[in-house]
């Protein structure tokens, strides 16, 4: 069956692409397009060609599933050349997303007309490749060098109506969004007919358009791209290539980026980024069997976390009742929310109207009866079992029977919290990461008696909140914080063994983590984890277990909020003062810890081994059911470099034998309890 349909409407040949779900340019689609173009070109009755797509979107790029194999002919540049050199005018009718190879196709058409809601983008760099069919070069001619380079190097999609990209389209078809594609098609055909009648349509190759280089500050652009690309080297490679080729024709420059595209496809970075892309899709909730019945939400606690959770729901259009114990705490919490929304508005992230609507969706209350009718309550109160149990007992008393009762606890046993109610099947964990309205990760904690329908509803809800959700079981810290604690334990142990604060943070920044782990502790407050751990006995087999944090907390160094933590924040650039060096040395000496020599590589390797060790245990104990969840947690919860794919992806490259040998060494030094023997072959694929 062909993936394209053609028909004639008067003198206009309509070529419709129909390759769901996103009209990706698979080898079959490329081939079917070429065949259809040949047939249309032979028809002398054709005055113009209208290219459009069935379904919710225009072409969303090359078919990424083909990237692991050898590229198969016909290749995209051949389709593009055929379109660009077509004997009659070619008009692309755009809607939905026009991405990657899809934008390259559109840019090679002679005219573009679009639904104003359309998004355009060149996301190739986020997959570790570059636009491989001259998309960047043609966009330079359509929207200017700087705008095109920004689009291609950022990988981000923009609205077609964004002023910088105005010149991309010849017409926007209406100010309303289209509920029916037929309506858009009818408008598109009408536009082509009128233009034909006026004699305004002629074949014109974008590649032949003059290039207005304008005033581009390449140095500043390079620095900006390097900053935002973080550990992904591809945006800067693309930038350098485009800058070098500026004086070349589109065809010559396109052949260079094509070569780069083919070379990068098989690189480790591209494989890691593809892995990240597909695991996000794999772990997304499937379409729900039942429609999601959550309209109104209650949030208990208007502190930093509760407020951010309320924002997260209001951002997604939910009505929220924010509950606090006192009027004073409530008005302070509501004020913080207002300030935050106004800040987003001032920075241009949302409009004043969006700001007002979202603020109006959040209503405060100090009366539990105001959450009686909500469909979901999320408790974000103080991290204490006693406090949480009393809140859940109260919620059980007041909330309607169908309400889902969720806790945002980071560490506490949800089975015990559920026991405070007569409906443990309705109790679930919804563990947000701070700041809850920004961080993508959401852990859905499936407690022993949580009903499957409740878990499914939370997975559907996560999608609406635009979160990347993982469903996990109950254990101390669940999957995410448990693994992060193991990472933190290894870092503190290395401090005791002689690694310096700066060495550790710099090594992890060099690895590509978004922040150094000790700077993170300072930011979140060293006392937070310390207080959580204080509720449990210190593991007797691990004498140094977070002893550095304890020493800092005892010295009043709680992090940024006290001006002193691992770093001293009294100057513009935080420094490590002698007091911290002495404190750490003292703890190490008291414990008789042997000092070692560390470098960037040894620090990175130790932390990586710790991540894998705990991840394997989390999988083995069934806390997560898919190993991909581990990578998702690190990528979206803890700033793990996406270009490295996640710890489990890295472990596959590292090799099981090598991992086992290194863990064995650590086991000899620190004992079986900290470095247990693991059947890694069960969790890590090997070629």
Distance from C-alpha of 165 to C-alpha of 143, rounded to nearest angstrom: 6
Q: What 3-state class would DSSP assign to 361?
A: helix
236 vs 605, which CB is nearer to ligand 3HC? 236
Q: Which of 16, 84, 124, 193 is catalytic?
A: 124
- CA–CA distance from 528 to each of 42, 154, 306, 307, 633 (Å)? 72, 36, 16, 18, 20
> In 296-419, which residue ranges form alpha helices assigned H by DSSP?
304-315, 327-346, 352-361, 385-398, 414-419
Based on the shown chain and the rule CB under 6 A, indicate whether residue 628 belongs to the binding site for ligand 3HC: no
Based on the shown chain and the rule CB under 6 A, indicate whether residue 124 belongs to the binding site for ligand 3HC: yes
Report the residue from 30, 33, 36, 63 that binds ligand 3HC according to the rule CB under 6 A. Answer: 63
Question: CA angle, corner 294, sides to 288 and 295, nearest 5?
Answer: 135
Based on the shown chain and the rule CB under 6 A, indicate whether residue 97 belongs to the binding site for ligand 3HC: yes
Tokens 């945002």 belong to: 408
Distance from C-alpha of 492 to C-alpha of 544, rounded to nearest angstrom: 8
Q: How far is the CB of 628 from ligand 3HC (least distance, A)?
A: 13
| Residue 92 tokens, joined | 């692309």
Q: How far is the CB of 121 from ligand 3HC (least distance, A)?
A: 8
Residues 500 to 559 in contact with ligand 3HC, rule: CB under 6 A: none
Stretch touching ligand 3HC by CB under 6 A, among 121-129, 307-315, 486-494, 663-671: 121-129
Based on the shown chain and the rule CB under 6 A, indicate whether residue 592 belongs to the binding site for ligand 3HC: no
Based on the shown chain and the rule CB under 6 A, indicate whether residue 64 belongs to the binding site for ligand 3HC: yes
| Residue 238 tokens, joined | 């693309």
22 vs 618, which CB is nearer to ligand 3HC? 22
Distance from C-alpha of 305 to C-alpha of 325, rounded to nearest angstrom: 15
Stretch touching ligand 3HC by CB under 6 A, among 55-63, 247-255, 491-499, 528-536: 55-63
Stretch touching ligand 3HC by CB under 6 A, among 123-131, 515-523, 596-604, 619-627: 123-131
Distance from C-alpha of 648 to C-alpha of 276, rounded to nearest angstrom: 11
Report the residue from 15, 60, 445, 616 that binds ligand 3HC according to the rule CB under 6 A. Answer: 60
Q: How far is the CB of 273 from ligand 3HC (least distance, A)?
A: 10
Stretch touching ligand 3HC by CB under 6 A, among 132-140, 198-206, 307-315, 400-408: 132-140
Q: How far is the CB of 50 from ligand 3HC (least distance, A)?
A: 22
Which strand ranges, in their side-by-side order, compose the sheet holding 441-445? 362-365, 319-323, 296-300, 376-379, 404-407, 427-432, 441-445, 468-472
How far, rounded to the nearest angstrom, does the alpha carbon of residue 467 sit from its chain's CA centroid? 8
Based on the shown chain and the rule CB under 6 A, indicate whether residue 637 belongs to the binding site for ligand 3HC: no
Q: How far is the CB of 355 from ligand 3HC (least distance, A)?
A: 26
Q: Which of 16, 84, 104, 490 is catalytic?
A: 104
124 is catalytic: yes
Q: How far is the CB of 63 from ligand 3HC (least distance, A)?
A: 4
- x/- site string to ligand 3HC, residues 15 to 44, per CB under 6 A? ------xx-x--------------------
Based on the shown chain and the rule CB under 6 A, indicate whether residue 133 belongs to the binding site for ligand 3HC: yes
100 vs 188, which CB is nearer to ligand 3HC? 100
Neighbours of 104 (CB within 10 A): 31
Based on the shown chain and the rule CB under 6 A, indicate whether residue 99 belongs to the binding site for ligand 3HC: yes
In this structure, which long-range contacts are made by residues 539-543, counting pairs with CB atoms below 8 Å and at least 24 apart in sequence? 539/673, 541/671, 541/673, 541/674, 542/489, 542/670, 542/673, 542/674, 543/591
Q: How far is the CB of 180 from ligand 3HC (least distance, A)?
A: 18
| Residue 481 tokens, joined | 């914080």
Based on the shown chain and the rule CB under 6 A, indicate whether residue 128 belongs to the binding site for ligand 3HC: no
What's the burial of 537, exposed, middle or buried (CB within 10 Å: 0-12/13-18/19+)? Answer: exposed
Q: How far is the CB of 137 from ligand 3HC (least distance, A)?
A: 12
Based on the shown chain and the rule CB under 6 A, indicate whether residue 665 belongs to the binding site for ligand 3HC: no
Strand partners of residue 445:
429, 472
63 vs 115, which CB is nearer to ligand 3HC? 63
Rg (CA), the chain: 28
> In 266-303, which residue ranges form alpha helices assigned H by DSSP?
268-283
Q: How far is the CB of 26 from ligand 3HC (least distance, A)?
A: 8
Strand partners of residue 247:
none
Strands 119-121 and 158-159, by their bridges, are: antiparallel
Residues 280 to 319 in contact with ligand 3HC, rule: CB under 6 A: 281
Report the residue from 14, 17, 40, 62 that binds ligand 3HC according to the rule CB under 6 A. Answer: 62
Based on the shown chain and the rule CB under 6 A, indicate whether residue 123 belongs to the binding site for ligand 3HC: yes
Torsion of CA 366, 370, 375, 378, to 10 degrees: 10
Active-site residue numbers?
A: 104, 124
Contact footprint for ligand 3HC (CB under 6 A): 21-22, 24, 60-65, 76, 97, 99-101, 104, 123-124, 127, 131-133, 135, 281
């Amino acid at each position: 069956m062909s993936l394209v349909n053609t028909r004639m409407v008067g003198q206009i040949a309509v070529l419709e692409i129909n390759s769901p779900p996103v009209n990706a340019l698979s080898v079959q689609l490329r081939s079917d397009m070429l065949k259809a173009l040949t047939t249309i070109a032979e028809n002398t009755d054709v005055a113009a060609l209208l290219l459009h797509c069935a379904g919710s979107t225009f072409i969303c790029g090359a078919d990424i599933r083909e990237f692991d194999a050898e590229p198969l002919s016909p290749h995209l540049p051949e389709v593009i050349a055929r379109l660009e050199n077509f004997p009659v005018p070619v008009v692309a009718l755009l809607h939905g997303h026009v991405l990657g190879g899809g934008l390259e196709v559109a840019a090679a058409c002679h005219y573009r007309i679009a639904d104003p809601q359309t998004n355009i983008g060149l996301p190739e760099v986020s997959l570790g490749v570059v636009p491989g069919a001259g998309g960047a070069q043609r966009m330079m001619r359509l929207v200017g060098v700087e705008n095109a380079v920004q689009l291609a190097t950022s990988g981000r999609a923009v609205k077609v109506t964004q002023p910088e990209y105005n010149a991309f389209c010849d017409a926007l078809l209406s100010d309303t969004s289209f509920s029916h594609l037929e309506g858009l098609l009818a408008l598109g055909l009408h536009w082509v007919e009128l233009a034909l009648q006026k004699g305004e349509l002629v074949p014109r190759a974008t590649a032949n358009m003059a290039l207005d280089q304008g005033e581009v500050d390449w140095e500043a652009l390079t620095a900006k791209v390097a900053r935002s690309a973080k550990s992904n080297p591809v945006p800067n490679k693309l930038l350098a290539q485009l800058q070098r080729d500026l004086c070349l024709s589109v065809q010559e420059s396109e052949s260079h980026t094509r070569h780069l595209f083919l070379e990068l496809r098989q690189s480790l970075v591209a494989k890691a980024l593809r892995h990240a892309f597909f695991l996000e899709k794999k772990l997304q909730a499937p379409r729900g069997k039942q429609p999601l019945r959550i309209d109104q939400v209650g949030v208990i606690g208007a502190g930093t976390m509760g407020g951010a959770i309320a924002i997260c729901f209001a951002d997604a259009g939910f009505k929220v009742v924010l509950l606090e114990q006192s009027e004073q705490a409530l008005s302070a919490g509501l004020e913080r929310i207002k300030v935050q929304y106004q800040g987003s508005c001032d920075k241009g992230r949302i409009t004043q109207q969006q700001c007002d609507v979202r603020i109006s969706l959040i209503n405060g209350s100090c009366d539990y009866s105001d959450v009686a009718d909500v469909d979901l309550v999320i408790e974000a109160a103080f991290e204490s079992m006693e406090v949480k149990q009393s809140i859940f007992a109260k919620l059980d008393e007041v909330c309607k029977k169908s309400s889902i009762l969720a806790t945002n606890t980071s560490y506490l046993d949800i089975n015990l919290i559920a026991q405070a109610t007569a409906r443990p099947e309705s109790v679930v964990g919804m563990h947000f990461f701070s700041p809850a309205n920004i961080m993508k990760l959401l852990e859905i904690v499936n407690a022993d008696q949580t009903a499957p329908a409740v878990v499914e509803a939370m997975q559907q809800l996560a999608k609406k909140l635009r979160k990347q959700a993982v469903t996990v079981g109950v254990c101390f810290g669940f999957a995410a914080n448990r693994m992060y604690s193991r990472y933190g334990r290894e870092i503190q142990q290395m401090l005791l063994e002689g690694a310096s604060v700066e060495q550790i943070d710099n090594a992890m920044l060099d690895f590509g983590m978004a922040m150094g782990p000790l700077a993170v502790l300072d930011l979140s407050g060293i006392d937070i984890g310390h207080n959580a751990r204080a509720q449990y006995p210190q593991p007797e087999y691990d004498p140094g277990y977070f002893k550095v944090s304890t020493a800092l907390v005892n010295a009043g160094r709680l992090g940024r909020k006290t001006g002193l933590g691992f770093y001293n924040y009294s100057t513009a650039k935080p420094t490590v003062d002698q007091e911290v060096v002495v404190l750490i040395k003292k703890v190490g000496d008291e414990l008789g810890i042997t000092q070692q020599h560390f470098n960037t590589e040894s620090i990175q390797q130790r932390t990586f081994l710790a991540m894998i060790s705990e991840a394997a245990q989390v999988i083995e104990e069934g806390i997560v059911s898919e190993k991909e969840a581990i990578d998702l947690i690190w990528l979206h919860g803890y700033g793990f470099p996406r270009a490295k794919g996640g710890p489990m992806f890295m472990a596959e490259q590292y090799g099981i034998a090598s991992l086992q040998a290194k863990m064995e060494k650590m086991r000899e030094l620190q004992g079986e309890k900290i470095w247990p023997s693991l059947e890694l072959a069960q969790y890590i694929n090997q070629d």
